[in-house]
């Protein structure tokens, strides 16, 4: 009996162990989303807006911001980034960067996109924004601009972190923007391997790319909290789908689910639709205005330091009536006209004397108008001035004689002298005799229609030479290009242009890509090069076993 009980216990323990070993581990929440890439319309959804861990799908946004910075001229593909100790300490998957190492951005992009290297993604974020926290803030800001409303980033690589989440719908939106906004860089997601500068890296998505017909990207992701994630893009004929799967239990399970979703969705979308490209994001610029702090000075804070108050001004010194001088200060509540009117009417301002008794200042010695100024002074000081005058000129006008009639053609110097009731000073008689006769005046010179563009010096009257306008084409000297052979399809030719541009960024910097549709096929060309640049480019292409010919635009 004891043996039977012992055998039963052993058999029950073995059965329990088998059952426990056979039970799968707790799976991450599952979500899926499939959209028609041409229109952005959904085809299949399951928990599509649930906020889940995106894992390395985060690197899609890291690369999107890197491409944006390159296109805006902030950085270049050959810009060298210094690896920080934080980036070098990231856990696998990683490229193997060392702290203090400098590496070109093109290699970091390849490592992050193909191998899904965490250290490379962190180095990209720190190199662009200065810190990973600032870069994560920019990632979230860009997500909002793209319409990813259920996404928030805390790092550049996708390692599990509280507050770091996204959704299957949002990642599909991001994949669509990568395809349409940066077609020149999109082919990097379809590579099976690439040179990452310090190592040759292999794609984490190569199984799906090799197994599913028409697949050309995009990105895989895995953490324990997220499960096996994948955002994929595939094309069949005129149809293109973008789909995202969250929470796969294994790589094989994830790829199988993705294949089934794409197969069923391809049969449900029309062959021809009107393509609606997504609009590029518009970020709100945030500016900070800094104001200088300046200590106030007593002169600046005192009330109206430049105004004079009449009551506070000292009284003028007493002078004889014949030589009295009046100083008139502008009061805050009295304008100049009122002060002068009261002065001429004998109104007492403080202790000042009447304006009529004041003397005009003496003219500068040698002045030709001394006689005229003396006559005006005498008129102001005369007793015939009105008692009250509205202006300073009134006493002068009241005491002055009527002006002389303009001389006629038959007038002479003698007539003018007789017509004047009082003898004029010598300078005035000479001026009237010499310059005021119409017969002796010179006709004005006709106005010149010449426009003087610039003065060459004081008194320079030489005619301005006609300007010669020389125009040159905008791309002067860059009328050469290179041809990379003939291809049967336009897509193949475009792929060649994009791949060569990525491999030889410095060689084709500033060049324009163009696919010519000829009778022999589609010809990929790099244009807008100088002759020397075109020859150098062909030499490099030939070393890469690429057909290349220098052509003139």
Sign of the torsion angle spanned by Cα atoms 271, 275, 276, 277: positive
**Could you tell me where the beta strands, DSSP code E, fall in 237-369?**
239-248
- Measure CA 229 to chain center: 37
CA distances 515 to 100, 344, 397, 527, Å, are: 42, 91, 89, 10
Burial of 132 (0-12, 13-18, 19+ CB in 10 A): buried
Strand partners, 230: 220, 245
Closest CA to 233 of 277, 322, 172: 172
Closest CA to 227 of 55, 94, 59: 55
Rounded CA gap, 226 and 231, in Å?
Answer: 14
Contact between residue 469 and residue 513 where contact means Cβ atoms under 8 Å apart:
no
Sign of the torsion angle spanned by Cα atoms 531, 535, 537, 538: positive
Catalytic annotation present for 280: no
Catalytic annotation present for 116: yes
Q: What HEC string does 384-441 produce?
A: CCCCCCCCCCHHHHHHCCCCCCCCCCCCCHHHHHHHCCCCCCHHHHHHHHHHCCCCCC
Cis peptide before 434 (omega within 30 of 0): no
Closest CA to 191 of 115, 259, 255: 115
The total of other beta-carbon atoms located within 10 Å of residue 165's CB is 19
Tokens read off for 241? 């789908």
Rounded CA gap, 98 and 82, in Å?
Answer: 9
Beta carbons within 8 Å of 387's beta carbon, 6+ residues apart: 344, 345, 346
Catalytic annotation present for 94: no
Instruction: Tell me which H or E stretch contains 545.
Output: none
- The catalytic position among 94, 115, 116, 389 is 116
Helices (H), 187-334: 206-211, 251-266, 298-301
Strands 193-195 and 200-202, sheet pairing: antiparallel
Total residues belonging to the chain: 553
**Secondary structure letter of residue 487 according to DSSP:** B
Strand partners, 527: 512
- The catalytic position among 56, 167, 203, 389 is 56
Beta carbons within 8 Å of 118's beta carbon, 6+ residues apart: 56, 90, 91, 92, 93, 94, 157, 158, 159
φ/ψ of 476, rounded to 5, equals -60, 130
**Catalytically active residues, by annotation:** 56, 59, 116
């Amino acid at each position: 009996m004891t043996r039977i009980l012992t055998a039963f216990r052993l058999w029950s323990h073995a059965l329990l162990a088998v059952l426990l070993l056979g039970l799968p581990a707790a799976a991450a929440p599952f979500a899926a989303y499939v959209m028609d890439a041409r229109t952005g319309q959904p085809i299949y959804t399951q928990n599509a807006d649930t906020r889940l861990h995106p894992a390395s799908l985060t690197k899609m946004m890291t690369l999107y911001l890197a491409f944006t910075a390159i296109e805006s001229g902030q950085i270049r593909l050959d810009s060298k980034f210094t690896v920080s100790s934080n980036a070098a300490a990231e856990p696998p998957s990683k490229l193997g960067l060392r702290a203090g190492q400098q590496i070109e951005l093109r290699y970091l992009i390849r490592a992050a996109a193909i191998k899904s290297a965490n250290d490379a993604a962190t180095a990209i974020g720190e190199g662009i924004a200065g810190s990973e926290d600032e870069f994560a803030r920019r990632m979230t800001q860009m997500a909002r601009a793209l319409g990813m409303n259920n996404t928030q980033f805390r790092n550049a690589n996708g390692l599990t972190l509280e507050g770091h989440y996204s959704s299957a719908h949002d990642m599909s939106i991001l994949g669509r923007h990568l395809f349409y906004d940066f077609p020149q860089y999109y082919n990097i997601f379809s590579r099976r391997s690439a040179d990452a500068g310090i190592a040759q890296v292999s794609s984490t998505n190569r199984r799906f790319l090799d197994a599913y017909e028409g697949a050309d990207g995009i990105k895989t992701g895995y953490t324990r909290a997220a499960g096996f994630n994948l955002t994929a893009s595939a094309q069949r004929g005129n149809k293109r789908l973008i789909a995202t799967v969250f929470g796969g239990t294994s790589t094989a399970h994830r790829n199988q689910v993705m294949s089934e979703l794409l197969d069923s969705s391809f049969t449900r979308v029309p062959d021809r639709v009107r393509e609606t490209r997504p609009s590029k994001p518009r970020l709100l610029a945030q500016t900070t205005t800094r104001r200088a702090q300046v200590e106030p000075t007593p002169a600046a804070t005192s009330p109206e330091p430049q105004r004079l108050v009449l009551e506070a001004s000292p009284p003028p010194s007493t002078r004889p009536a014949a030589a009295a001088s009046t100083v008139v200060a502008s009061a805050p509540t009295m304008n100049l006209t009122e002060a002068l009117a009261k002065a001429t009417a004998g109104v007492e301002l403080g202790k000042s004397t009447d304006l009529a008794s004041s003397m005009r200042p003496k003219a500068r010695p040698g002045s030709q108008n001394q006689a005229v100024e003396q006559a005006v002074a005498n008129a102001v000081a005369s007793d015939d001035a009105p008692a009250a005058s509205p202006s300073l000129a009134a006493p002068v006008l009241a005491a002055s004689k009527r002006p002389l009639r303009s001389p006629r053609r038959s007038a002479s110097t003698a007539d003018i002298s007789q017509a004047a009731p009082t003898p004029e000073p010598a300078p005035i008689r000479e001026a009237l005799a010499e310059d005021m006769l119409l017969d002796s005046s010179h006709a004005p010179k006709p106005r010149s229609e010449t426009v003087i563009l610039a003065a060459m010096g004081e008194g320079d009257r030489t005619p301005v030479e006609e300007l010669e306008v020389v125009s040159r084409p905008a791309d002067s000297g860059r009328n050469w290009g290179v041809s990379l052979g003939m291809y049967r399809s336009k897509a193949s030719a475009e792929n060649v242009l994009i791949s060569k541009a990525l491999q030889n960024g410095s060689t084709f910097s500033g060049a324009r890509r163009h696919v010519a549709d000829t009778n022999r096929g589609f010809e990929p060309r790099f244009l807008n090069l100088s002759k020397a640049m075109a020859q150098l480019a062909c030499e490099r292409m030939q070393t890469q076993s690429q057909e290349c010919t220098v052509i003139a635009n």
